[in-house]
Amino acid sequence: MDLRLKGKSVLITGASRGIGLAAAKAFAAEGARVMLTARSLDTLAEARAAIAGAVVHAADIVTPEGAAAAVEATVAAFGGIDVLVNNVGGGGGGPRIADSTDEDWRKVLDVNLLQTVRMMRLALPAMKGREGAAVVNVASISGWVPQLAMSGQYGAAKAALIFDTERWALEFVPYGIRVNTVSPGSILVPGNGWDRYRMAQPAYYEDYVKHGFPMGRLGTAEEVADAIVFVASPRAHWINGRNVPVDGLEQPYPPLDRRAFG
């Protein structure tokens, strides 16, 4: 299937590894022009070497200055933005509200929610009037599946991101811009938290996978990337303001020991 992305300009945040990098490769494979942003120039250089024609820009997009610079660099390179993928996010804070601080909440909300709002606001002028423009926000099933192993701050931020995506879609639709969310379940990426847990607690990991994953394994970054690329493409023009889970029908299971995640 031709996803009609050839020549489209795509800005992806957090694109030097994991889901962001997999999405960049998938967009490039469809003929899109990709701008990869992340904080580390070294990891971005490795990513650029793996994707022919990719452009990179090192910036901390959680800061207003970094976000503005990423958007400006994309416009300078491509003349505008057709697709914005807000992939940056992260956990943090204590799993129990009694142990959390105001700063825990501010930090996690800033990384997972407020930076997304900022990126959309900054990118809007560069996306208006571009045929097939789309925003994809990467959330998580943690936004509606509460587990003690995951901090309440992270779940609340992702829940807000999922909720607000529909609100933003209503606001952006007059400009011809669709806004959707893709929510991964547990994804196994070399070196990530799940990979560390698998090595630290192999027996419990196998038991967790056996009982929590009907398909017998965790997901891959490439599987999430495929969903992101399709939802962003003109082929998905009738999908708007929606949340697309990519979780293999993952089921809640007894809490994990967070200490093994490192």
Tell me the pLDDT tens digit for each residue of 69-82. 999 999 999 999 99
Amino acid code (one letter) for 3: L
State whether residue 242 is helix, strand or coil: coil
Find the mean pLDDT for residues 204-224: 93
Q: Which residue out of 154, 197, 205, 208 is catalytically annotated?
A: 154
Structural domain count, the chain: 1
On whether residue 19 sits in a domain, the answer given is yes
Confidence of residue 96 (pLDDT cuts 50, 70, 90): confident
From the centroid of its chain, how far is CA 130? 22
Find the mean pLDDT for residues 197-214: 90
Residue in 69, 6, 77, 75 with CA at minimum distance from that of residue 48: 77
Residue in 131, 136, 104, 145 with CA at minimum distance from that of residue 251: 145
On whether residue 142 sits in a domain, the answer given is yes
On whether residue 89 sits in a domain, the answer given is yes
* The model's pTM: 0.94
Residue 163 is predicted with a pLDDT of: 96
Residues 6+ apart with CB under 8 A from 63: none
Asked if residue 26 has pLDDT above 70, the reply is yes
Confidence of residue 132 (pLDDT cuts 50, 70, 90): very high
Residue indicated by tokens 């995640």: 261
Confidence of residue 249 (pLDDT cuts 50, 70, 90): very high
As given in the structure block, the two tokens for residue 110 are 């800033």
Find the mean pLDDT for residues 90-100: 74
On whether residue 140 sits in a domain, the answer given is yes
As given in the structure block, the two tokens for residue 36 are 């990869």
Residue 98 is predicted with a pLDDT of: 78
Residue indicated by tokens 């909300």: 109
Asked if residue 122 has pLDDT above 80, the reply is yes
* Residue 224 backbone dihedrals phi, psi, to 5 degrees: -70, -40
Residue 97 is predicted with a pLDDT of: 77
As given in the structure block, the two tokens for residue 168 are 């933003």
Q: 148: domain CATH number?
A: 3.40.50.720
On whether residue 211 sits in a domain, the answer given is no
On whether residue 107 sits in a domain, the answer given is yes
- Domain hosting residue 121, numbered range: 9-186+221-254
Q: Measured between alpha carbons, how far is 101 from 93 in angstroms, rounded to an integer?
A: 8
Residue 110 is predicted with a pLDDT of: 95
Asked if residue 257 has pLDDT above 80, the reply is no
Asked if residue 172 has pLDDT above 80, the reply is yes
Q: How far apart are the first and last CA of the chain?
A: 41
On whether residue 209 sits in a domain, the answer given is no
Confidence of residue 149 (pLDDT cuts 50, 70, 90): low
Residue indicated by tokens 């995951």: 150
Residue in 28, 1, 117 with CA at minimum distance from that of residue 10: 28
Asked if residue 259 has pLDDT above 80, the reply is no
Catalytic residue at 154? yes
* Average confidence score pLDDT of the chain: 92
Confidence of residue 91 (pLDDT cuts 50, 70, 90): confident
pLDDT tens readout for residues 31-61: 999 999 999 888 899 999 999 899 999 999 9
On whether residue 197 sits in a domain, the answer given is no
Is 127 exposed, middle or buried, given 0-12, 13-18 or 19+ CB atoms closer than 10 A?
buried
Find the mean pLDDT for residues 178-191: 95
* Mean pLDDT lowest among 6-10, 168-172, 252-256: 252-256
Residue in 111, 108, 44, 112 with CA at minimum distance from that of residue 73: 44
Asked if residue 231 has pLDDT above 70, the reply is yes
